[in-house]
Amino acid sequence: MSAGASLAGWVVAVPLIIALLWFSWWIWNANNKLDARIITGDLDLLSSPSFSISEVIRAPVGSRVDVAQTMAVQQLPPNMMMVPVRLPDGRMGMMPVRTATAPVNMQPIHRPPMQ
């Protein structure tokens, strides 16, 4: 192998290696930036042309994401209490129920121990 052929090989190989290293860094950096935006809950990701949202986790089929104003949580009146109910999809939820009198003791509901 002559010195000219070896030099020509390096002339081709070095730019390819640099391009491969730069591309690997670029992908790694883009993934880290995306992870940081997801963790902080950046809502601009939903309307960004750079990303295609194909699925929103834990949302029923056909759901859509709308920007909504935050609402203040109201205190229940004294004759209301929250009771656990099983939803049609099997999850548990809390439902307000009107009582004759104000609840005297609000003990948390404990599940029986698993055996």
- The residue extents of the domains of the chain are 8-47
Q: C-alpha angle 91/97/102, rounded to 5°?
A: 130
pLDDT (tens digit per residue) in 21-38: 999 999 999 999 988 988
CA distances from 17 to 6, 14, 23, 25, 30 (A): 16, 5, 10, 12, 20
- What pLDDT does 63 receive? 75
Tokens found for residue 87 = 């939803």
pLDDT (tens digit per residue) in 68-95: 677 666 677 777 888 888 888 888 888 8
pLDDT at 15 over 80: yes
- Burial of residue 81 (CB within 10 Å: 0-12, 13-18, 19+) is middle
pTM for this entry: 0.41
- What pLDDT does 13 receive? 92
